[in-house]
Amino acid sequence: MLKPKSPDEPKIYLLPNLMTAGNLACGFFAVLSIFNGILEATGQDGGYAFALAKPYYERAILLIFGSCIFDLLDGRLARLGGKESPFGREFDSLADVISFGMAPSLLMAKAVLFPLDSVVEGLGWVLACIYVLCGAIRLARFNCLAAMPQRDPEDHDFRGIPIPMAAGFISSLTFLIIYLEDTDRDLGAWKFVIAGAMLGLSFLMISDVRYPSFKKVDWRTRATPMLIVIVAVVIVATVRYRYIMPVVLFSAYLVYGLLVRPFLSKKLRKEIEEVNPPDVEGEEIQ
Contact criterion met (CB below 8 Å) for 176 and 247 = yes
pTM of the model: 0.88
Residue 44: per-residue pLDDT: 65
Residue 92: per-residue pLDDT: 94
The percentage of the chain sitting over the pLDDT mark of 70, rounded to a whole number, equals 86
Residues 9-63: tens digit of each pLDDT: 778 888 889 999 999 999 999 999 999 999 998 876 767 788 888 899 999 999 9
- How long, in residues, is the chain? 286
Residue 225: per-residue pLDDT: 86
Residues 163-208: tens digit of each pLDDT: 999 999 999 998 988 888 765 455 566 778 888 889 999 999 999 9
Beta bridge partner(s), residue 42: 48
Distance CA 51, CA 124 (A): 19
Mean pLDDT throughout 266-273? Answer: 83
Quick count: other Cβ atoms within 10 Å of Cβ 104?
34
Amino acid letter for position 85: S
Residue 222: per-residue pLDDT: 76
**Residue 215 vs residues 39, 167, 198: alpha-carbon distances, Å:** 41, 19, 27
Residues 230-250: tens digit of each pLDDT: 989 999 999 999 999 999 999
**Residue 35 vs residues 53, 111, 178: alpha-carbon distances, Å:** 9, 11, 17
